[in-house]
């Protein structure tokens, strides 16, 4: 399961609404792809269409969809949002990552 912090929830709802998504029916798609300075990088988008091999979660009133392959890398992850002057935006706190890069957008196992 993927958890969503209160600050991430607020920002997700704000951004989804701004982009014309319905937060009651649409969802956040979280995935992992090859790339980044540590080998794997996170991918976060808004989506309306669920695929056959997707796993669906809901935490803190946010619906999250993860493809089967990415789920293995993301079990136990918490989606956070860091704002302010030095904020990075969305941050993944992934207990499975052995190493992360300085920007926090990529990791390795």
Q: Give 67-94 pLDDT, tens digit per residue.
A: 998 998 898 999 999 877 776 788 888 8
Q: How far apart are CA 100 and CA 77, in angstroms?
A: 14
Cβ(101)–Cβ(26) below 8 Å: no
Q: Give 20-33 pLDDT, tens digit per residue.
A: 999 999 999 999 88
Instruction: Provide the whole-model pTM.
Output: 0.81
Neighbouring CB atoms inside 10 A of 9's CB total 17
Superfamily (CATH) of domain 3-102:
HesB-like domain (2.60.300.12)
* Structure-token match 């920002």, residue found: 11
* Six-digit token string for 30: 């979280």
Q: Give 18-74 pLDDT, tens digit per residue.
A: 999 999 999 999 998 876 555 678 889 999 999 999 999 999 999 999 999 899 889
């Amino acid at each position: 399961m993927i958890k969503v912090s209160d600050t991430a929830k607020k920002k997700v709802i704000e951004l989804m609404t701004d982009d014309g998504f319905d937060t009651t029916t649409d969802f956040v798609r979280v995935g992992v792809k090859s790339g980044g300075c540590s080998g794997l990088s996170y991918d976060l988008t808004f989506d309306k269409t669920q695929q056959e091999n997707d796993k669906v979660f809901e935490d803190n009133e946010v619906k999250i969809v993860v493809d089967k392959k990415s789920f293995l890398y993301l079990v136990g992850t918490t989606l956070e949002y860091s704002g302010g002057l030095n904020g990075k935006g969305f941050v993944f706190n992934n207990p499975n990552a052995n190493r992360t890069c300085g920007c926090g957008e990529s990791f390795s196992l």
